[in-house]
Amino acid sequence: MCSVRVSTEDQAREGFSLPEQEKRLRAMYEFKGYEVYRVYEDAGISAKTGNKRPAFDELLQDIKDKKCNTIVVLKLDRLTRSVADWEKILTFLEENDAFLDCANDDINTTNANDKMISRILTSVSQQEIERTSERTKIGLAGAIKVGQPQCT
């Protein structure tokens, strides 16, 4: 099975379009001998906390229903950039005898070392989002300040 997602046009231009992700993942399936149950696509929906991702919810339900037991993604940040969300996903996978296999990050959550690395990578991804948010707020504050008349 696989979960592929792209959240911005920039990612599509950089080679992370849904068809490109699926092409790369299908090569990984063939190499590892995986049987594809279904491709789950949440096109244009960010993996930010609180976003509804219908296909991802279906994926989790299929794992609960024992229709599949592996999530395959190109990059871990295609699944989440939140440390809290990643811990929930890890717990869910453990509780359902399932795992994640990540192509570009070379992570397989069947072992403790890769789980640790996944936590580090997710922390880095979350930090990138937080820094971008900080820069955006600073930029907006500067734009507002410039656009306001000066008081004397």
Q: For the domain that residue 79 is a member of, what is the CATH number?
A: 3.40.50.1390
Q: What is the token pair recorded at 117?
A: 């690395």
Which residue has better confidence, 123 or 47? 123
Which residue has better confidence, 90 or 16? 90
Q: Is residue 47 part of a domain?
A: yes
pLDDT range class, residue 145, cuts 50, 70, 90: low
Question: What mean pLDDT is predicted for residues 13-42?
Answer: 82
- Specify the pTM: 0.75
Q: Is residue 152 part of a domain?
A: no
Q: Residue 89: is its pLDDT beyond 70?
A: yes
Q: In this structure, is the dihedral angle defined by the CA atoms of residues 30, 63, 58 and 76, taken in order, positive or negative? A: negative
Q: Residue 66: is its pLDDT beyond 70?
A: yes
Instruction: Say if residues 104 and 28 touch (Cβ distance below 8 Å).
Output: no
Strand order across the beta sheet in which 70-73 lies: 70-73, 99-102, 107-108
CA 36 to chain CA centroid, Å, is 19
pLDDT at 61: 96
Beta bridge partners of 71: 100
Q: Is residue 21 part of a domain?
A: yes
Instruction: Say if residues 20 and 78 touch (Cβ distance below 8 Å).
Output: no
Q: Is 69 helix (H, G, I), strand (E, B) or coil?
A: coil
- The rounded distance, in Å, linking the Cα atoms of 95 and 51 is 23
Which residue has better confidence, 5 or 35? 35
CB atoms inside a 10 Å sphere around CB 24: 17
pLDDT at 16: 66
DSSP class of 78? G
Tell me the residue range of the domain where 60 lies: 2-147
Q: Is residue 125 part of a domain?
A: yes
Q: Is 1 helix (H, G, I), strand (E, B) or coil?
A: coil
| Total count of domains within the chain | 1
In percent, the amount of the chain with pLDDT more than 90 equals 37
